[in-house]
Chains A and B, each alone.
Chain A
Amino acid sequence: MVASLGPKVIEVRTPADLDAVEALVMPGGESTTMSMLLERSGLLAPLAERLAAGLPVLGTCAGMILLAEEIVDGRADQHRFSALPITVRRNGYGRQLASFEVDLDVAGLSHPFPGVFIRAPVVEQVGAGVEVLASVEEHPVLCRSGSVTVASFHPELSGDSRLHQGWLSLAGVLEESSAVEEPVTERH
């Protein structure tokens, strides 16, 4: 998704990879597995440092869980970066049969964004300074705080690149002027 918008994309698996990036996507997956692998790969401390220094980051689903301040229903040994003051409940929407699609009204977008929620986490609380950009019923699903943007859904699965575009512009990776609001359709 990001590559289709222009920037060069690399996969970060080592501290050296992390040094090379100017913005980071923390994608979906299993947050417990990702936490373990971050630790075994020696990425925990370097990533915490970069986040503290304002690295622009987009965390989706499991990525959001890792960036949260509080995790409910996680594993006791699961790491969190506390990059923004939110509390999330892991698998809060339920197992796979409860996974869903819904059209989201997102602040700043002229027409709805297709939200794809896969065993998604529920944002239970947001603290001071967190901007809620979209919600499903009473729960926020897209939040921003400074350089950190998090979504409980998967904008990368929907084929609509507007959120990625907006995030890349904000991160200074894309020129503001090149950010258009029309969806770029990708194959599902």
Chain B
Amino acid sequence: MTETNRSTGSPLVKRGLAEMLKGGVIMDVVNPEQARVAEDAGAVAVMALERVPSDIRKDGGVSRMSDPEMIRGIQATVSIPVMAKARIGHFAEAQILQSLDVDYIDESEVLTPADETHHIDKWAFDVPFVCGATNLGEALRRISEGACMIRSKGEAGTGNVVEAVRHIRSIIGDIKKITQADQAELFEWAKQLRAPLPLVQEIAETGELPVPLFCAGGIATPADASLVMQLGAQAVFVGSGIFKSDEPERMAAAIVEAATHYRDAAVLAKVSTGLGDAMRGLEIATLETKLAERGW
């Protein structure tokens, strides 16, 4: 019947998958076994990467795209979407990931940047991209390059939610202020944010980002997930927080439930009970490398 005009890779199709992940938890996994644990716990997607951020932090060295074999192994193991990370500006890694049929590419500051000036031209791809941002200007620059989902960066691999809170508050706070601005002030906002005027004008009209806004970087407990979602994040990425905790299966399931019932303190109390130790956190002031400062 209707076959004629099927179109793939359109902006709506690319953003559509992000819309479907709202309210959920996306978990970092480094092998098929962890991917299975994540799916069993109710993750809406997994992020395949070679080392979780806390190990990247510990081991140092250059951090790159994962081995395709590992990504394929994870794709073969779970039925939920599989995302993978490319280095900032490394469009060749992104091309490889697209050829592997991953469901989303994260152009991520957690890996070592490959280009100090240019992010990937994400419009050139059919696979959708998520990018990190520490503030609204950064988010809008990524969207203008074709990102279909923004995650606030936080500080990955620390188990410390303070930077995640700072970034999500900054993004949402500025969105609120823009909705109060008059037309003349929007020009100044665009200039201050170093962001395209049409995107700023769109925010003034709708009161939200043109793409879903998720939160990442330091979420380590069910309460952390609830906190950032009450602040306005539409879903959460949990990296080291799950597989560096005492009991990953229970922590994963608890964070999933917390994301669903993020306003229900009784449920949060229940799922927070007896989880064992969360990952050991790091004080931000002691960090040698702040990953959030990568990208611009």
Contact = CB atoms under 8 A, between A and B. Distances in A.
A158 B12 CA distance: 8
Contacts of B21: 29-30
A76 B71 CA distance: 23
Contacts, number: 123
A32 B2 CA distance: 30
Nearest to A141: B2
Interface in A20-52: 28-30, 32-33, 36-37, 40-41
B42 A96 contact: no
Which of B2, B10, B127, B256 counts the most chain A CB atoms within 10 A? B2
Interface string A100-117: 111111000000100011
A136 B2 contact: yes
A117 B44 CA distance: 17
Contact of A102 (B7, B79, B102): B7
Interface stretch (B136-144, B240-248, B257-265): B257-265
Given A75-B79, A97-B126, A119-B81, A33 B256 contact: yes
Nearest to B202: A187
Interface in B1-41: 1-3, 5-13, 15-17, 19-24, 39
Interface in B119-148: 126-128
Interface in A63-97: 73-75, 90-91, 95-97
B12 A157 contact: yes
Given A13-B261, A97-B9, A135-B1, A118 B17 contact: yes
Nearest to A98: B8
A136 to B, nearest CB: 6
Interface string B256-277: 1100110010000000000000
B143 to A, nearest CB: 13
Given A36-B42, A119-B103, A97 B20 contact: no
A61 interface: yes
B256 A37 contact: yes
Contact of B19 (A96, A112, A157): A157
Which of B16, B126, B261 counts the most chain A CB atoms within 10 A? B16
B8 A100 contact: yes
Interface string B154-168: 000000000000000
Contacts of A30: 20-21, 24, 44-45, 80-81
B204 to A, nearest CB: 13
Contacts of B44: 29-30, 33
A125 interface: no
A96 B1 contact: no
B16 A154 contact: yes
Contact of A97 (B1, B3, B101): B101
B103 A29 contact: no
A37 B81 contact: no
Contacts of B45: 30
A32 B24 CA distance: 12
A97 B260 CA distance: 28
11 contacts: A33-B43, A33-B44, A73-B79, A74-B79, A90-B79, A96-B102, A97-B9, A97-B101, A117-B13, A118-B13, A118-B19
Closest 5 CB pairs of A and B: A96-B103, A118-B16, A36-B42, A33-B42, A99-B13
